[in-house]
Amino acid sequence: MKKHNFSAGPCILPQEVLLKASEAVIDFNNSGLSLIEISHRSKSFVDVMDHASALALELLGLEGKGYHALFLQGGASTQFLMAAYNLLENKAGYLNSGTWSAKALKEAKLFGEVIEVASSKDANYNYIPKGFDIPSDIDYFHCTSNNTIFGTQIKEFPNSPVPMVCDMSSDIFSRTLDFSKFDIIYAGAQKNMGPAGTTLVVVKKDVLGKVSRQIPSMLDYAVHIDKESMFNTPPVFAVYTSMLTLEWLKNLGGIAAIEEENEKKAKLMYSEIDLNPLFKGFAAKEDRSNMNATFNLTDESLKDTFETMAKEAGMNGINGHRSVGGYRASMYNALPLSSVAALVEVMSELERKA
Ligand SMILES: *Cc1c(COP(=O)(O)O)cnc(C)c1O
């Protein structure tokens, strides 16, 4: 039986993407060769890289605006240090809205002064700080659009007087935004775009070249832009599969179309959390993530019953992160509405039984 996959990451991918990717591993475009045994410098793979980068910019509405889309390695975690390496000369400002933000902030401190512009740590990150000022004497402002672990999401981005860097690992391509507000956007592929192994980094080129330090080539955005993500051997399978997901998304109607679906899923999920007395949501209502819904049982004695019922109904990956406990339903782009409906059905059945 196919499972309802609510895994927070690596996450569900569209079935047709998995099929095409597995075919390419055996025989890539009827070439008699596997995708993963050909040269990354061959025309067939260079075409894949070019198409993947072009699709990313097209879907984000950033073509012809001075942006470059790179497919790099080392995960979003490498971007924590790479962004600072490339941009931090004196001082940077970070919004501390969750575990990943805090990790990004920690890495940046290796390169200069870092100020915490605002934080929700005092409330175990159950809300998004608002109403803060971004100083104009900092090199850049860094934020995390969606806090995967806590289930909060920035709904309105500040107007930043300085370049804005955003970790969009867990909600990239899930909702329409004015992406041109950002100077650097990065996202580990494994949350909403593809397999683990590559990280999409969208860089506005004119933000670079302002630091005085030497940057090692592998960590230098300018080098990767110049070499079109081919400075060294790229993770070919992860890039190809990400390209397939981006094609799938474009064929569906792009971000606006998937956003509608994502809103339906989130609405269904949160209305059950709010109406069912056996559950309560973790995140502040106005900051609730459309990607990761976090919730707890109001009566812990029902834990085993609920988890057994969920397992029997084919639910996968609904356990919350250890720092929050309870449950987390990750509803990434490829998760069908019917999976959310199935989970909601288990929750309401628990209410009928209890
Ligand atoms: C998962 C996640 C990361 C870490 O990504 P890696 O690719 O594992 O380094 C960073 N930021 C956010 C928001 C995440 O959800």
Mean pLDDT of 220-228: 98
> What is the predicted pLDDT for the residue at 354?
83
Residue nearest atom 7 in ligand 1 by C-alpha distance: 75
**Inter-residue contact 237 to 36 (CB < 8 Å):** yes
Q: Which of 170, 192, 321 to mutate to test the pocket of ligand 1 (most atoms within 8 A of CB)?
A: 170
pLDDT tens digit sequence for 9-64: 999 999 999 999 999 999 999 999 999 999 999 999 999 999 999 999 999 999 99
Closest atom of ligand 1 to 75 CA is: 7
Q: What is the value of pTM for the model shown? A: 0.98
Rounded to the nearest integer, the mean pLDDT of the chain is: 97
CATH number of the domain to which 316 belongs: 3.90.1150.10
Q: 199 with 61, same domain?
A: yes
Residues touching ligand 1 (Cβ under 6 Å) are 9, 75-77, 100, 144, 148, 167, 169-170, 188, 191
Q: 20 with 111, same domain?
A: yes
Beta strand extents in the chain (DSSP E only)? 4-5, 67-72, 91-96, 113-119, 141-144, 146-147, 152-153, 164-167, 184-188, 199-204, 279-281, 292-297, 315-316, 327-330
Residue nearest atom 10 in ligand 1 by C-alpha distance: 76
Q: 40 with 162, same domain?
A: yes
Percent of the chain at pLDDT above 90? Answer: 99
Which residue, of 190, 223, 252, is where some domain finishes?
Answer: 252
Q: 197 with 300, same domain?
A: no
Closest atom of ligand 1 to 98 CA is: 13
pLDDT at residue 297 tops 90 = yes
pLDDT at residue 260 tops 80 = yes
Q: Which of 191, 289, 324, 328 to mutate to test the pocket of ligand 1 (most atoms within 8 A of CB)?
A: 191
66 part of a folded domain: yes
> What is the predicted pLDDT for the residue at 301?
97
9 part of a folded domain: no
Helix (H, G, I), strand (E, B) or coil at 69: strand
- The residues carrying an active-site annotation are 100, 167, 191
Q: Which of 169, 170, 192, 242 to mutate to test the pocket of ligand 1 (most atoms within 8 A of CB)?
A: 169
> What is the predicted pLDDT for the residue at 351?
97
Question: Domain count of the chain?
Answer: 2
Mean pLDDT of 306-316: 98
Burial of 61 (C-beta count, 10 Å sphere; 0-12/13-18/19+): middle
Q: 230 with 261, same domain?
A: no
CATH number of the domain to which 142 belongs: 3.40.640.10
pLDDT at residue 1 tops 80 = no
Which residue, of 252, 281, 307, is where some domain finishes?
Answer: 252
Q: 84 with 46, same domain?
A: yes
Mean pLDDT of 106-110: 98
pLDDT tens digit sequence for 133-159: 999 999 999 999 999 999 999 999 999
> What is the predicted pLDDT for the residue at 5?
98
Q: Which domain holds residue 162?
A: 15-252
pLDDT at residue 321 tops 80 = yes
Say which residues have a Cβ less than 8 Å from residue 269's Cβ, sequence separation at least 6: 293, 329, 331, 340, 343, 344
315 part of a folded domain: yes
Q: 168 with 68, same domain?
A: yes
Residue nearest atom 1 in ligand 1 by C-alpha distance: 169
Q: 24 with 44, same domain?
A: yes
